[in-house]
Amino acid sequence: MTQKKKVTIEQLYRELEQYIPPQQEPLVQAVFRSSGSSFQALVTCILSARTADKTTEKRIPELFKIVKEPKDLKKVSQQRLEKILFPIGFYKNKAKLLKKFPDVLEKEFNGVIPETIEELIKLPGVGRKTANLIVSVCFDKDGICVDTHVHRIMNHIGYVNTKTPLETEAALREKLPKKLWKKTNSLMVLLGQSVCAPTLINKPACPLNWYELKESKPTVKKRVSR
């Protein structure tokens, strides 16, 4: 068996970046880069929940032709939204959430997308994962967006010992250097969708298995308030 290279978590991030497939960018980041709209990035993130990015990516151009800002959602019927969103996972429920979105945004935040996690999670369809990603991508603030890829990979490499993404977020906030927070999601998602997919993560070809962290004790679970 080939001996694993011992690295710090910072070194591991640098090593893993070379295995990212070329010309790939996570969907929410791509939407914000092209539109400059935190609203469209947030809607994309809501729609991507429990849905493959490729599926969401095919449907959002039609949606954003008629919905460019929150108030536009009031002009579109829920039935039409459902038709546009299909076959996105849970499209009926997501259409219902989008219909509620402009009224809640206006009532709570005067129609402006808020910039903190605590405020964002008050909006329909927004949980901690989405809120962390939006503050990081759209507002350049420190956030750790923990989805299934981040949760799975961080436990696989032994950096944390947690049972849920929520517990992983808490553990990473306690242990992971802040300078790595913003890049964690994009790095782990792109790896988790390619060379370190669930069916490949235990195979020798997955680069996660070529390294050993110098840190000896993983941070165990700790709850974060929802």
Q: Under CATH, which number does the domain 27-137 receive?
A: 1.10.340.30
Q: Which helix (H) or strand (E) is 5 found in, with range?
A: strand 5-7
Residues 188, 198 contacting (CB under 8 angstroms): no
Given a cut of 50, the residues of the chain with pLDDT beneath it are none
C-alpha dihedral, 116 to 85 to 148 to 119, nearest 10°? 10
What pLDDT is stored for residue 1 in this prediction?
55
What pLDDT is stored for residue 24 in this prediction?
78
Beta bridge partners of 220: 161
What pLDDT is stored for residue 215 in this prediction?
67
What pLDDT is stored for residue 45 in this prediction?
97
What pLDDT is stored for residue 25 in this prediction?
86
DSSP state at residue 26:
-
Which contacts of 74-82 are long-range, i.e. CB under 8 A and separated by 24 or more positions? 74/102, 74/103
Residues 143, 135 contacting (CB under 8 angstroms): yes
Model confidence pTM above 0.85: yes
The CATH 1.10.1670.10 portion of the chain extends over: 5-22+144-220
pLDDT in tens, 4-55: 999 999 999 999 999 987 767 889 999 999 999 999 999 999 999 999 999 9
> Domain 5-22+144-220 belongs to what topology?
Endonuclease Iii, domain 2 (1.10.1670)
The structure tokens listed for 59 are 């449907």
